[in-house]
A and B are shown apart, each in its own frame.
Chain A
Amino acid sequence: MTASPDFCRQIEALRPALLKYARLQLRNPAWAEDAVSETLLAALEKPQAFAGASQLKTWLVGILKHKLVDQIRKNSRELSTTASTEDGEDLDELLFASDGHWRETQHDWGNPEDVLRQLDFMKVLEACVDKLPGQQGRLFMMREWLELESDEICKELAITPTNLWVMLHRARLRLRDCLQAGWFGAASAGGAS
């Protein structure tokens, strides 16, 4: 069965969205292009696999996630050699005094339900994930977006659990900082309710 022109158009229209997430995950434009091309190709070769029961985008993102894991596997050696050079500054040192206390008062972010139903928050979150340094962003995405278990990530990238936890710790602290600055800080100044 060959894909209809209409099906091709619909799939092609989703390329930019897929590319955005492929880049967020891989942090490498060339690998991201490859993963997306493979995804679209797989979809066009098997249009009958799309039953139409779910949304087209849901189906494609599902394929993309597998292709992204393939890319990570394929490039794991290069990933492990570039990783340590793109770490960013140590936030712990900025957040805590030498006695281990917070330097500043922490803010109440309010009710998660109220925050999370706002579409704009999702955009700020995406921008903050995008700002994470390379390897931290990659690991955060593997954990939270690809939903891989810690031991799977360690195996794919040949890193130790301790190394993974340190990197995720930094990623989450950085993300929190960015959300505070980009959403909660900005919102409280504007009187968010």
Chain B
Amino acid sequence: MIKLKITCREATQITLQAEDRRMPLSERLSLRLHHRICSNCRRFARQVELMRQASVRWRHYTEE
């Protein structure tokens, strides 16, 4: 079941766990709904995205 309202804390947890496993569709939808109304969590998700790209860049950097 899709939770229509999740807290920022829950949104953060879903965002971070998505880095390490495939999240159920229901949680991804809850997150998407939450992002529509929450700029803080949108920014947080972009920070996590930047960190993911940073890891890739860092792996290359450590071998150069």
| Option from A57, A106, A121, A126 in Cβ contact (under 8 Å) with B47 | A106
How far apart are the CA atoms of A115 and B43 in the complex, in Å? 15
Whose C-beta in chain B lies nearest to the C-beta of A108? B43
**Count of inter-chain pairs, beta carbons less than 8 A:** 95
Known: A102-B40, A112-B49, A122-B61. A169 touches B7 (CB 8 A): no
Kindly state whether residue A50 has any CB partner on chain B within 8 Å. Answer: no
Q: Does A179 contact B (CB under 8 A)?
A: yes
Q: How many residues of A contact B (CB 8 A)?
A: 41
Contact B63 A172 (CB under 8 A): no
Q: Does B26 sit within 8 A of A, measured CB to CB?
A: no
B57 at the A/B interface (Cβ < 8 Å)? yes
Whether the Cβ atoms of B20 and A105 lie closer than 8 Å is: no
Chain A residues within 8 Å of B43, by CB: 106-109
How many residues on the B side are at the interface (Cβ–Cβ under 8 A)? 32
**B36 adjacent to chain A (CB < 8 Å):** no
Q: Is the CB of A168 within 8 A of B9?
A: no
Q: Which residues of B contact A96 (CB under 8 A)?
A: 7-9, 12
Contact of B40 among A58, A105, A144 (CB under 8 A): A105
Name the contact of B51 in the complex, choosing from A161, A169, A172 (C-beta under 8 A).
Answer: A172
| Min C-beta distance of B39 to chain A, whole Å | 8
Interface residues of A in 89-127 (CB under 8 A from B): 92, 95-96, 99-102, 105-109, 112, 115-116, 119, 121-122, 125-126
Distance (whole angstroms) from the CB of A39 to the closest CB of chain B: 13
User: 5 pairs across A/B with beta carbons < 8 Å?
Assistant: A121-B54, A144-B59, A147-B59, A168-B20, A176-B48
Q: Which chain B residues have a beta carbon within 8 Å of chain A's beta carbons?
A: 7-10, 12-13, 16-17, 19-21, 39-41, 43-44, 46-51, 53-55, 57-59, 61-64
